[in-house]
Amino acid sequence: MNKKVFVTRAIFQDAIDQLISAGVETKIWPDELPPTTLELINNAADCHGILSMITDHINKKVIDRCPNLEVISNMAVGVNNIDLKYAGFRGIKVGNTPDVLTQSTAELTIGLILMLCKNLYQQIDDTKHGKWATWHPIKNLGMELSGKTLGVFGMGRIGQKVASIASLAFGMKVIYHSRSNITAKQKIDANAVSFEKLLHLADIISIHCDLNEETFGLFSQEIFKQMKNNSMLINTSRGEIINQKDLETALSNGPLKSAAIDVTYPEPLPSNSKLFQLPNLIISPHIGSATLDARTKMANIAVKNILNAFNSENLVSLANNSYLQIT
């Protein structure tokens, strides 16, 4: 196969070997940090495929500088780092890796919910630092999940998985607000409610929507004001959905009791970010899909999407279907 691919970060060798065995000339970005836009262009300029990560901004400028490009295969479910419309206009297929990271991301979400409800991060840290004076009948108290209301914002695959674990494993009442109307969710014991009701009723809100023009900065002061007193917020989707300045206020002055975010804006946060000073905020380093299980499958699908595009076969998952016009 007379094709070249730029892989923007070291991925599992097994996945790379699949490209090499198919006769694809494969260039791998060797650094720990992602390539800059210029480095991306310099490396991908003569390539037919880019195997990208969410840390690569594949915009019009990049696409225009890669005249041979046939496929952009993102090793992620989210594709907000790619100009889908422009890629489609140029006849370039964009692949992503849905489904295989649903379980991992849902498990992380549940882990963060548990951490907040038991105040685990603080309790472990205090213990380590000699602040465990004695067992105390009315101190170090957390909250049980059973009977509490979880509000899921965005009932796609991950939202549905979180809803079902919360309801089946922990006996939570689940309500959700979603644009999508997916049949699978009918099997889940959860009730659809308006956004306002979700904000008013949920003890814990977990964000699982896409990042788009409507959701950018959506969780702002105006929304926080409508949330229940002492409620908790989790975000494992995209950092941009939360207005971080307003989150800081809602965590300092209420109504939020605590929050856990796996995603921030930017990523990583600058080391002097005020968010790091908040005792009731947990920040993890965008690890929703970071399990060996999920990342192995994601890498394999990303490679398959490249090879399928080169072989004029359907991609395992085509993210820009509605924009694609083969030129």
- For residue 54, the minimal CB distance to ligand DGY (Å) is 5
User: Minimum distance from CB of 213 to ligand DGY (Å)?
Assistant: 18
- Between 7 and 76, whose beta carbon lies closer to ligand DGY? 76
Residue 234: which of 105, 99, 103, 77 has the closest Cα? 105
Does the active-site annotation cover 25?
A: no
Instruction: Supply the minimum distance, in Å, between the C-beta of residue 302 and ligand DGY.
Output: 10
Site for ligand DGY in 257-286 (CB under 6 A): 286
What's the N-to-C CA distance of the chain in angstroms?
22
Give the binding range for ligand DGY (CB under 6 A) out of 1-9, 42-50, 75-83, 211-219: 75-83
Token pair of 127 as six digits? 């213990």
Is residue 267 flagged as an active site residue? yes
Residue with Cβ nearer ligand DGY (95 or 288): 288
77 is a contact residue toward ligand DGY (CB under 6 A): yes
User: Closer CB to ligand DGY, residue 241 or residue 256?
Assistant: 241
Question: Helix-strand-coil percent breakdown of the chain, rounded to 5?
Answer: 35, 15, 45
Both tokens of 258, joined, read 């605590």
Nearer to ligand DGY, 88 or 288 (CB): 288
Please name the helix (run of DSSP H) or strand (run of DSSP E) that holds residue 105, with its range, or none: helix 102-117
Is residue 54 at the binding interface for ligand DGY, with CB under 6 A as the rule? yes
Q: Which has the closest alpha carbon to 10: 22, 21, 26?
A: 26
Binding map of ligand DGY across residues 289-318, x = CB under 6 A, - = no contact: x-----------------------------
The Cα-based distances of 30 to 11, 27, 195 in angstroms read 10, 9, 45
H or E segment to which residue 233 belongs? strand 231-235
| Gap between the Cα atoms of 69 and 65, Å rounded | 9
Catalytic residue among 157, 177, 208, 238: 238
- Cα 185 to Cα 106: distance, rounded to the nearest angstrom: 15
Catalytic residue annotation: 238, 267, 286
Interface residue list for ligand DGY (CB under 6 A): 54, 76-78, 101, 286, 288-289
